[in-house]
Chain A
Amino acid sequence: MIKARVTVTLKNGVLDPQGKAIEGALGALDFSGVASVRQGKVFDLELEGADRSKAEADLKAMCEKLLANTVIENYQVELA
């Protein structure tokens, strides 16, 4: 079994209203010095088999086809 983590984040230049709202709420909690917050998503996957290069290729395909919307999002794949 291969464990993997996929992180999906908004591309630079894409407005993130939710990140902005979180940034504001952190300020309201008196956390000073938070210059910016960008919200993203994390997916933890368990893949059957032991072929790490196949797993990596499959995960990239999953990101391209479903997990990320590459119009607005970047993704990063990490194998444990």
Chain B
Amino acid sequence: MKAAVVLLPGLNRDRDMIAALTKIGGKPPRTVWQTDTEIPDVDLIVIPGGFSFGDYLRCGAIAARMPVMRAVAEQAKRGVMVMGVCNGFQILLEAGLLPGALMRNASLKFVCREVKLQVANANTAFTSGYAPGQIIRCPVAHHDGNYFADPETLARIEGEGQVVFRYAEGTNPNGSINDIAGIVSATGNVLGLMPHPENLIEAAHGGNDGRALFESVLGAAA
């Protein structure tokens, strides 16, 4: 699988993401910098987590206006798979590539722990390796993961199966509406999620529940 990882100042989960993509995808991903206006021909573009531009203004707001994001939008429009994790999810929302917004956690606290996720839609390029409704473990680490969308948008994404991951079994760590942890675009090729599947891919992580997400993408790219 050919993958590219977007690098922006203030991201800090890029190394973990690159390691996961290398281990599961078989070769290291390309990296693209915030000022790049073109992205090499790849199957998957990943925006990792962290605190791009210090979360100034709003999480992901500045990053979403960088030149590289115009290139990401063009590739997404062409049907290339795009995945944003944590800050990457916030950036995709701010860039308008996914609907809704992520607000401060209802608890006002940064949460760093493991949650349970329910695979709400296993019929996407990112989740086909999971069983429908499967409950998986996944770590979260964020301060602004409280998903919000207006009632009309919410009804639309729920109706179209765009909600792909939900916090399960009372583990919602942030007050997210409808327990939403991850969504895909209407076209299905853009995924944003708050949890970190790249941090649960091998025994050394204490589990490998995140691995099937990468394997799903690998299968879709083949």
Contact = CB atoms under 8 A, between A and B. Distances in A.
Interface of A: 13-15, 17-18, 21, 65-67, 69, 71-72
Contacts of A67: 57
A17 B106 contact: yes
B77 interface: no
A69 B58 contact: yes
Interface residues of B, number: 20
Interface string B136-161: 00000000001011100000000000
7 contacts: A13-B150, A14-B103, A15-B106, A17-B106, A17-B108, A69-B61, A72-B101
B150 A71 contact: yes
Contacts of B133: none
Contacts of A18: 104, 108
A17 B105 contact: yes
Contacts of A21: 108
Contacts of B101: 69, 71-72
Interface of B: 57-58, 61, 65, 93-94, 99-101, 103-108, 146, 148-150, 175
Contact of A17 (B58, B93, B94, B175): B175
A75 B174 CA distance: 26
A73 to B, nearest CB: 9
Contact of A71 (B57, B65, B149): B149
Contacts of B57: 66-67
B103 A72 contact: yes
Task: Tell which of A14, A15, A17, A18 has the most Cβ of chain B within 10 Å.
Answer: A17
Contacts of A14: 103, 148
A14 B146 CA distance: 11
Given A17-B108, A66-B61, 4 more contacts: A14-B103, A14-B148, A15-B103, A71-B93
A66 B57 CA distance: 9
Contacts of A17: 103-108, 146, 175
Nearest to B94: A69
Contacts of A71: 93, 99-101, 148-150
Task: Tell which of A13, A15, A67, A69 has the most Cβ of chain B within 10 Å.
Answer: A69
A9 B101 CA distance: 15
B140 to A, nearest CB: 17
A72 B148 contact: yes
A39 B80 CA distance: 39
B150 A15 contact: no
B23 to A, nearest CB: 36
